[in-house]
Structure 1
Amino acid sequence: MEFHKIARSGQIPDGVVRRFFAGDVEVALSRQDGEIHATSNYCSHLDCLLSSGKVTDEGLLCSCHGSVFDYASGEPLCPPATRPIVIFPVREEDGHIHVGIDEELAAAAAKRRASGARRLTPG
């Protein structure tokens, strides 16, 4: 697994979630009670951006429909989401945030609902 330096520690204050990239992989970084968390940036329910969500005591709240995801496991703690989000290993060293990504995690984070699922077809 390769760790990528994707942010400065000061860019993620407590209670904040923001979007960053590690190559082609989109990552939502959040900090709750001083601890940094790295997840995929798309909600498993309808692909809403988790970086637009909120940090709560329970987990990461998706702003679209209110699902909350556990910081450690990625499991949904309340509906409507029923599938977990991807959790990346993360470490904070020398004022920088490093996220661990391998091929398996990158592929899992890239999986989103089928693009045609919400597309209207003509005719």
Structure 2
Amino acid sequence: MEFHKIARSGQIPEGVVRRFFVGDVEVALSRSEGEIHATSNYCSHLDCLLSSGKVTDEGLLCSCHGSVFDLVSGEPLCPPATRPITVFPVREEDGHVYVGIDEKLAAAAMKRRAAGSRRLSAPRTT
């Protein structure tokens, strides 16, 4: 697994979620109780950006529908999400944040709902 330097430590203050990229992979970095966390940036419910959410006492809160994810395991703690998000290994050294990404993690993080699955009803035909 290769670790990529993607941020300066100061860019991730306590309780804030920020979006970064490693190639085509979007990563949400957050800090909770001083510890840095790296997850995929899309909620497993409806692909909302987790970087628009915030860190709570429970975990990572999606701003769209209120799902909360465990920052360590990625498991959903609060509905409507029922599937986990991808969690990346992360380390903080010498004032920088490094995220570990391999092919399997990258594929999992980039897997999103099909664009058509957001449609609530089928289009009308005449």
Normalised to the residue count of structure 2, the TM-score between the two structures is: 0.94
Partner of 1:90: 90
Q: The residue matched to 2:31 in structure 1 has which SS?
A: strand
Match runs of 1:7-18 below 5 Å: 7-18=7-18
CA-based RMSD: 1.1
Partner of 2:36: 36
Partner of 1:66: 66
Distance 1:81 1:18 in 2: 21
Normalised to the residue count of structure 1, the TM-score between the two structures is: 0.96
Tell me which amino acid in the other structure corresponds to 1:96.
Answer: H
Judge conservation of contact 2:52–2:62 (CA < 8 Å) in 1.
yes
Distance 2:116 2:62 in 1: 22
Structure 2 alignment gaps of length 5 or more: none
Matched residue pairs, number? 123
Partner of 2:4: 4
Judge conservation of contact 2:46–2:118 (CA < 8 Å) in 1.
no
Identity of matched residues, %: 85
Compare CA radii of gyration and give the structure with the larger one. 2
Q: Which runs of 4+ in 1 moved over 2 A?
A: 118-123
Distance 1:60 1:24 in 2: 22
Distance 1:103 1:122, change over 3 A: farther
